[in-house]
């Protein structure tokens, strides 16, 4: 199984996995944790090595420099300030991570991150995915990338929306979808979306 060395390698793997993600996610109704596992499974299926693929990776960014993470840090009790802990849903790492993305290995998880995915799902009874929460995740991904770049490295951020609720009243409205896609494009964040009849894959790498 070939190792993934670059952000382009990781993005190409996600492009190959995307049709499988669409097929799998359309076949079941579940919550975000299940769909995260589907994404993991599909990436493994197309050849991403197990030692390069993590889920719910706890990271720690000491003294953040991005305005967003600094703002969120200042919201905390003063005794707990001084850093921010992003937890991306799915992460593809470069080979030197060697299968160790424990929180204690935080410097390496930032240094060796190639691609980070945030998954959102339409799982709410009588509710739907809204623009504000998706835009918040897009900005969070962009800030995460800024922090990694500040350390002298780089990673590719991806927001993935699983909008497969059978009831149209529980799926995103067209205006919200268009707004989210626009914000993702402006932030240079890849935007992936699927519903029962539509899928969008706008890669920014």
pLDDT, one tens digit per residue, over 87-97 is 999 999 999 99
Q: Are strands 113-121 and 61-62 parallel, antiparallel or unpaired?
A: unpaired
Per-residue pLDDT, 144: 96
- Looking at residues 186-201, what average pLDDT do you find? 96
The closest of 155, 58, 156, 59 to 107, measured between CA atoms, is 59
Closest to 146 in 3D by CA, of 82, 70, 197: 70
Residue 66 pLDDT? 93
Pick the more confident residue, 14 or 167: 14
| Neighbour tally for 83: CB within 10 Å | 15
Rounded mean pLDDT, 141-151: 96
pLDDT tens profile 53-84: 999 999 999 889 999 988 888 887 776 777 88
Contact 172, 194 (CB under 8 A): no
- CA-to-CA distance for 133 and 135, rounded, in angstroms? 5
Q: Going by C-beta distance under 8 Å and a sequence separation of 6 or more, which residues neighbour residue 186?
A: none
Cβ-proximal residues to 18 (8 Å cutoff; 6+ apart), any chain: 42, 192, 199, 201
Using alpha carbons only, how large is the chain's radius of gyration in Å? 17
How are beta strands 113-121 and 156-162 bridged, if at all?
parallel
pLDDT at 126: 66
């Amino acid at each position: 199984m070939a190792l993934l060395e670059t952000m382009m390698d990781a993005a190409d793997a996600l492009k190959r996995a995307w049709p499988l993600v669409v097929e799998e996610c359309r076949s079941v109704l579940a919550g975000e944790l299940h769909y995260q596992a589907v994404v993991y499974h599909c990436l493994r299926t197309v050849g991403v090595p197990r030692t390069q693929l993590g889920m719910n990776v706890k990271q720690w960014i000491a003294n953040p420099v991005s305005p967003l993470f600094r703002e969120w840090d200042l919201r905390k009790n003063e005794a707990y300030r001084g850093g921010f802990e992003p937890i991306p849903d799915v992460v593809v790492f470069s080979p030197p991570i060697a299968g160790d993305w424990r929180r204690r290995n935080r410097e390496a998880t930032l240094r060796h991150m190639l691609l980070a995915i945030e998954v959102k799902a339409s799982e709410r009874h009588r509710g739907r995915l809204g623009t504000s929460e998706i835009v918040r995740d897009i900005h969070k991904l962009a800030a995460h990338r800024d922090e990694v770049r500040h350390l002298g490295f780089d990673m590719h951020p991806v927001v993935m929306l699983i909008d497969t609720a059978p009831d149209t009243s529980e799926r995103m409205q067209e205006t919200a979808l268009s707004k989210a896609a626009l914000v993702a494009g402006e932030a240079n964040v890849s935007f992936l979306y699927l519903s029962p009849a539509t899928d969008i894959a706008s890669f920014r790498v």
